Amino acid sequence: MAQPVSRPSPVVRRVLVLGAVAALSTGLAVAEIPAAIATADTPGTTLGTAAARSGRYFGTAINASKLGDPAYTTIAGREFDMVTPENEMKLDATEPRQGQFVFTNADRIVDWAVENGKRVRGHTLVWHSGQPQWLQNLSGSALRQAMVDHINGVMAHYKGRIYAWDVVDEAFADGTGGRRNSNFQRTGDDWIEVAFRAARAADPAAKLCYDDYNIENWTWAKTQGVYAMVKDFKQRGVPIDCVGFQAHFNSGSPYDGDFRTTLQNFAALGVDVQITQLDIQGAPAATYAAVAGDCLAVPRCDGITVWGVRDPDSWRSGDTPLLFDGDGDKKPAYTAVLDALNAAVPGTSPSPTPSPRKSCTSRWVRIKHHGNRTWPRVSCRAA
């Protein structure tokens, strides 16, 4: 006999409706929304469905070279509802020669994600590392223009298909609150602002994020430097929507309980926060549960991404830092995270992201830097 279908609670109905509206307004297929939840009291049996109970996502990094491995794709397809290309969207992968874009491997990941009902985080548009030689040979206004052209080219290709972009990655120096001495930084202090304004002009509906590591501890100078930048951007109307915390925890950069304070303080600036590349040396269950709890305690924490599927897939495979072992079996940390996600009160779901800006105009304005050239500035009004 067929079992009666429980009517979703008001909170869950709100999450599902908001997800559908967001998908339709950005041109995404409804199939890309995380699987519907029967009731708020029904535990999720996978990381993605458990996170969705409170309106969040649980994602993983995907490597295109592993999409032919059935064991890999079975776990990824079952457990996660958000996908981040591990390396395939970086500068050297997407524009190996100036003006000549290559999206073959990135497209494989995006297509796989969409076919399997998952959303995609774009990673990353501008980074000091992973640069092709032609870009390293540029400086000043030529480099600045190449940065803007790259943002425009990549975002145009994926317009309407990417949930959020890491626009700029790792722009602050370790151990200080200052900027990293990169080639982009040497074009002028406003380069990050220019990147975000260009990204908004390229795809007004995409969520725009700044992403970095070693900014999880509120007492660290690097954390304070990024915080000051985000605060300044919000005060001046620079289009930044979220901050990504990579959360690579190990003996040299251990987890600290004030991570929750950091998330709360950034969220108070009016940005969403995301845990974007989580891995923990040795995968201690208690620490994984604590990190999940930190996100769940902050209403504007959208979700969590672990940086790989199984331990051998990790960039730090020797640390066995992920939720699945080399045989694809669930580790104790998996159960700890699943339990934490299922214990979340549905009312802790993230605040709805403002509707994508559908009425936007861009104009070119002069911003002081090398050559006094012009760069895009976007003005939008609510739909």
pLDDT in the model for residue 348: 54
Question: Residue 214 maps to which CATH number?
Answer: 3.20.20.80
Q: Is residue 111 situated within a structural domain?
A: yes
pLDDT of residue 10: 33
Mean pLDDT of 85-95: 99
For the segment 160-207, what is each residue's pLDDT rounded down to a tens digit?
Answer: 999 999 999 999 999 899 999 999 999 999 999 999 999 999 999 999
Q: In this structure, is residue 9 part of a structural domain? A: no
> Which pLDDT does position 347 carry in this prediction?
52
User: What does the pLDDT look like over 225-237, one tens digit per residue?
Assistant: 999 999 999 999 9
Q: What is the pLDDT confidence band of residue 128, given thresholds at 50, 70 and 90?
A: very high
Residue 356 scores a pLDDT above 60: no
| Residues 248-256, mean pLDDT to the nearest whole number | 96
Within-domain flag for 289: yes
Residue 64: the pLDDT is 99
This prediction's pTM: 0.83
Q: Quick check: is 45 in a domain? A: yes
- The answer to whether residue 14 is domain-embedded is no
- Name the residue range of residue 284's domain: 29-381
pLDDT > 90? residue 14: no
The pLDDT value given to residue 7: 32
Mean predicted lDDT score pLDDT of the chain: 86
Share of the chain above pLDDT 70, in %: 80
Asked whether residue 318 is assigned to any structural domain, the reply reads: yes
Note whether residue 18 is domain-resident: no
| Residue-wise pLDDT tens digits, 277-324 | 999 999 999 999 999 999 999 999 999 999 999 999 999 999 999 999
Confidence of residue 346 (pLDDT cuts 50, 70, 90): confident
Q: How many domains does the chain have?
A: 1
Q: How high is the pLDDT of residue 35?
A: 44
The three-state DSSP-derived secondary structure of the chain is: CCCCCCCCCHHHHHHHHHHHHHHHHCCCCHHHCCCCCCCCCCCCCCHHHHHHCCCCEEEEEECHHHCCCHHHHHHHHHHCCEEEECCCCCHHHHCCECCECCCHHHHHHHHHHHHCCCEEEEEEEEECCCCCHHHHCCCHHHHHHHHHHHHHHHHHHCCCCCCEEEEEECCECCCCCCECCCCCHHHCCCHHHHHHHHHHHHCCCCEEEEEECCCCCCCCHHHHHHHHHHHHHHHHCCCCCEEEECCEEECCECCCCCHHHHHHHHHCCCCEEEEEEEEECCCCHHHHHHHHHHHHCCCCEEEEEECCCEHHHCCCHHHCCCCECCCCCECHHHHHHHHHHHHCCHHHCCCCCCCCCCEEEEEEEECCCHHHCEEEEEEEECC
User: Domain for residue 12, yes or no?
Assistant: no
